[in-house]
Amino acid sequence: MRILLVDDEIEMADPLGQVLTREGYEVDVAYDGSSGSQLVQQGDYDLLILDWMLPQQSGLEICQQLRSQGNTTPVLFLTAKDTIDDRVQGLDAGADDYLVKPFELRELLARVRALLRRPTVLESPPPVQRPGIDELELDEANQRAYRSGRAIELSEKETQLLAYLMRYPNQLLTHEQIHQHLWGENSEKPTSNVLAAQIRLLRRKIEAEGEPPLIHTVYGRGYRFGLPD
pLDDT (tens digit per residue) in 129-188: 444 466 788 888 888 888 877 889 988 889 999 999 998 888 999 998 898 888 876 556
Burial class of residue 209 in the structure, from the number of CB atoms within 10 Å of its CB (0-12 exposed, 13-18 middle, 19+ buried) = exposed
Concatenating the DSSP letter of every residue in 153-172 gives: E--HHHHHHHHHHHHSTT-E
> Which residues of the chain are in CATH 3.40.50.2300 domains?
2-117
- Say how far apart CA 63 and CA 191 lie, in whole Å: 19
Q: How far apart are CA 167 and CA 226, in angstroms?
A: 11
- What phi-psi label fits residue 85: left (phi over 0), alpha (psi between -120 and 50 degrees) or beta? alpha
The per-residue pLDDT for range 91-102, each reduced to its tens digit, is 777 888 888 888
> What pLDDT does 191 receive?
55
Q: What is the CATH T-level fold of the domain 136-225, as seen in this structure? A: Arc Repressor Mutant, subunit A (1.10.10)
For 29-73, what is each residue's pLDDT tens digit?
Answer: 999 999 999 999 887 899 999 998 898 888 889 998 888 888 889
Q: Beta-carbon neighbour count of residue 30 at 10 Å?
A: 21
12-41, pLDDT tens digit by residue?
A: 899 999 999 999 999 999 999 999 999 998
pLDDT tens per residue, range 112-122: 998 888 655 44
Structurally, at CATH architecture level, domain 2-117 sits in 3-Layer(aba) Sandwich (3.40)
Residues of the chain with CATH 1.10.10.10: 136-225
